[in-house]
């Protein structure tokens, strides 16, 4: 996929705030920089599978809750 995937639906910020944690706290738990979390939330960077799994584990949700591709027909 790479960077700037315009069709990726991203719920990271919403779910992070719902969990009551800051970007810094999430970055520490997922073992990545706060700037990386910010870039993911802003759609600048699409995380690797490993990072997406770490984030979902930290937030107690499925990867599909965080990131989705829109339905296309």
Given a cut of 80, whether residue 72 has pLDDT beyond it is: no
In the chain, the percentage of residues whose pLDDT exceeds 90 is 78
What was the pLDDT predicted at 1?
Answer: 39
State the pLDDT at residue 5: 66
What count of residues does the chain have? Answer: 73
Domains (range + CATH), the chain:
9-60 (1.10.260.40)
**Cβ neighbours for 69, distance < 8 A, ≥ 6 positions apart:** 7, 8, 9
């Amino acid at each position: 996929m790479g960077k700037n995937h315009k069709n990726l639906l991203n719920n990271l910020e919403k779910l992070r705030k719902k969990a009551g944690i800051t970007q810094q706290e999430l970055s520490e738990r997922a073992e990545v920089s706060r700037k990386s979390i910010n870039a993911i939330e802003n759609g600048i960077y699409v995380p690797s599978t490993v990072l997406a799994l770490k984030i979902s584990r930290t937030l107690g949700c499925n990867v599909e809750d965080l990131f989705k591709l829109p339905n296309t027909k």
